[in-house]
Structure 1
Amino acid sequence: MDPEHHSKIVIVGAGIIGLDVALVLAEKGLGRSVTVVAEYLPGDTASTYTSPWAGCNFSALSASDEKALRWDRLGYFHLKKLASEKSAESFVSHTPSTEMWDDTPPYEKIRDMSAYLEDFKLLPSKVLPDGVKFGVSFSTVTINAPKHLEYLYKRLRDEFGITFIQQKIPNVQSAFKSPSTVAVFNCTGVAAGTLAGVQDSKCYPTRGQVVLARAPWVHQNTMRHGRDYETYVIPRPGSNGNVILGGYMEKGDRAERGAQPGRARSPGCICGAEAVEEGGTRVEREEVQIGGKRRVIVHNYGAGGAGFQAGYGMAVDAVGSIEDILRTITENPRSCL
């Protein structure tokens, strides 16, 4: 990082998790106090830059713990608002959805989903395919992942004044290169497992595969949650009739079971690695000493395939964990310039 740059807050990583943190900070009026530092920025393509390759939609694939359910609710309303108010601009669209499970899902998840998802219905067993034990339908959103990232990037930069620096940092401590920086958000995804200063042994990659196919007749999101796999068909808004066909396993390099493209023409296929945190997504504040001074790192990663739907809720909690620091920035605006 440029030592002459005097940001109070640095976000490391420009995937959906880092951009959502930037958005929450910007909505608090702190945009000009924020710098995002990342090896890749929206518009780039790389196998290790996972966010642009996502399906992506709001679905029931996330965990069933209290935090995950809360992040889902916050993400659903955030994305629904974008679909209602800025659909064409944000590449987020209202879409009907059907989701099925090979095993009955936890009661808490279905109870929580049914309380806020629009048009939520349980599907009768007679309409479910062989091997499926439980199914629901509801109104969801689908997202054109690469275009949505570019929308956020341009909005954060042009509307809120957030600075973006394209650079791969050698360690998380280097994000504090400016003496003005008081907090760093670590939103590095899979890299958290190897990034010096973090090296989280509980963070591991989940291998996934998607196929981009042209199928303009598909207007519904379909998910199947298996015992050791996920498969899905997701129409991609603003893409002239393309859909995402995909699937991933829980961990490592085991082979996926992908959705079958049928008569759809396939213009592309990609494999990628999503960050998963053993024991649950990590949203955690850590106190550190940098140059003899107290500083704060907020770790925010490990959502796996739920990053787009949970990212905004995760960001709300991640930012909330440093409210004491944010108050000092708000109270002393001149110190942020």
Structure 2
Amino acid sequence: MTAQTADAIPDKSSLTTKHVVVLGAGVIGLTTAISILESASKTNYLVTILASHLPNDPKSIDYTSHWAGAHHVSHATGTDANSSSANTEHPEQLAIDQETFRTMWDLSAQGSDAEKCLMRIEQVEYYHEEIPVDKDSGQARHHLSWYPDFKILSSATLSSSPLDLLAQGIRSGVSFNTLTIDTPVYLRYLYQRFVDKGGIVLRGRVDDIRDLQELQRLLHELQPTASDVQIDALINCTGLGSRTLLGVEDDAVYPLRGQTVLLRAPWITFGRTISSKGKEGKEDLWTYIIPRRSGDIIVGGIKTPNDSFPTPRPETTIDILRRSLRLCPELLHPQPVKSAEIRSGTTQLSTDSPSIPNLDQLSDSDLLNLIEPLMVEAGCGLRPARNGGVRLDVEWIESTRRIPIIHNYGHSGSGFQSSWGSATRAWRLLEGVL
């Protein structure tokens, strides 16, 4: 175990009877820690987050949450996250996502402390397959039908779209209201909310989750006044770290690499996604446009299993930009604009349609020149995927004492949209064993 710095710990007299240590400060760790503090009296819990990476750190491939898009579009489907079919096999995951959406929707309300982190939008999802019809009712079924103002797009709407959807192989689509998350801003909000509630944040790394004595020593090294604060439970929210963390060593965990491009296009206030299952030997195709309240836009993306390459691949950036412009030609402003105008907010918006060149005939260099005024950065992250899905359970370790470990990891690309529901269930597991 290694230690670096520590935030201030409350006066010893304010410490409570049950000390819970949360490992990890991504969106899952932060949200779980907040839920424990806010769901029970502080006379019951003292909560410490111990993590190697924190929200205010520079972006790193080792801190996945910084790189997420993100929007709330549930992946709780009985077949595949890229499918248009109804949810039939994962009712618990659906409940988790719905709880998270309700919480985030409230947080996105005007005047909320988190309003600046979130943006309510209309989202359109396009698919390369038909939406299935229920045999009994004759009605189309869709796993996103619970979102506000959900609609199945008519064939007439698809065929008349200026996006030339049918030529792109689109066979169906839906629209609904949801929200997007400015992930770096939201992570800092969660961090501050946790600290303001009396939570403790320490920077350090755990090598062996079973070595309670060493963990206690680490806490003392980070903050000597915590030396005699007994640890009563651990919450494992280490994401990809659960593959190598001694005492867990979950070989079902693997990296699912994503790559995105961050653009500045404040005139885009809607979301679009095209999803399709990759054919034999090819990865899933997944193109998305995610606007943020700040005026930035995340476009992507890819899903490449067991790929840990730490920097954006230029050829992937080009591919993402081509797909994104095909899906959202509105990204290109009708009149030529300069980077400085966009970033300063002095760009004059127009209702005219942009003139888009033939993307298939455009060279890579010409494409980059075309999009350069909007470019902020290319990025990549490693989603903490897990064969078998999220792990949310309890196990016990025998060390100097016998204590419970609540595992809450393996959310893949669904960490933000599952965060509050997963945190509630982790807290319930904790309540059941303490």
* TM-score normalised by structure 1 residue count: 0.87
Instruction: Give the deviation of 1:63 after TM superposition.
Output: 4.2
Letter in 2 for 1:318: A
Distance 2:130 2:305 in 1: 21
1:204 alignment counterpart:
254
| Residues 238 and 409, structure 2, Cα contact 8 Å, conserved in 1 | yes
- 1:231 matched to 2:231? The reply is no
Distance 2:300 2:378 in 1: 9
Q: For structure 1, which segment, 28-37 or 84-93, has the greater mean C-alpha deviation from structure 2 after superposition?
A: 84-93
- 1:154 matched to 2:192? The reply is yes
Instruction: Give the deviation of 1:75 after TM superposition.
Output: 0.9
- 1:117 matched to 2:147? The reply is yes
1:77 alignment counterpart:
102
Letter in 2 for 1:202: A
More strand by share: 1
2:69 alignment counterpart:
55
- 1:11 matched to 2:25? The reply is no
Instruction: Give the deviation of 1:61 after TM superposition.
Output: 3.4
User: Matched residue pairs, number?
Assistant: 320
Distance 2:41 2:247 in 1: 26
CA RMSD of aligned residues (A): 2.6
Letter in 2 for 1:229: L
1:244 alignment counterpart:
298
Distance 1:174 1:211 in 2: 41
Distance 1:73 1:217, change over 3 A: same
Distance 2:97 2:275 in 1: 17
Letter in 2 for 1:22: A
Distance 1:250 1:175 in 2: 36
1:333 alignment counterpart:
none
Unaligned 5+ segments in structure 1 are: 327-337
1:103 alignment counterpart:
129
Instruction: Give the deviation of 1:88 after TM superposition.
Output: 5.5
SS in 1 for 2:300: strand
- 1:216 matched to 2:275? The reply is no
Correspondence for 1:144 among 182, 193, 196? 182
> What do residues 53-85 of structure 1 show as CA deviations (whole Å, max 9, x unaligned)?
110010133444122111110111011000015
2:375 alignment counterpart:
266
Distance 1:133 1:143 in 2: 29
| Residues 47 and 199, structure 2, Cα contact 8 Å, conserved in 1 | yes
> What do residues 140-186 of structure 1 show as CA deviations (whole Å, max 9, x unaligned)?
0011000000001011102x100000112222234673362121111
| Residues 118 and 138, structure 1, Cα contact 8 Å, conserved in 2 | yes
Instruction: Give the deviation of 1:21 after TM superposition.
Output: 0.3
> What do residues 120-151 of structure 1 show as CA deviations (whole Å, max 9, x unaligned)?
10111333323223311111001100000000
- 1:312 matched to 2:420? The reply is yes
* TM-score normalised by structure 2 residue count: 0.68
| Superposition pairs of residues 120-131 of structure 1, within 5 angstroms | 120-128=150-158, 129-130=165-166, 131=169
Distance 1:88 1:18, change over 3 A: closer
Distance 2:60 2:69 in 1: 16
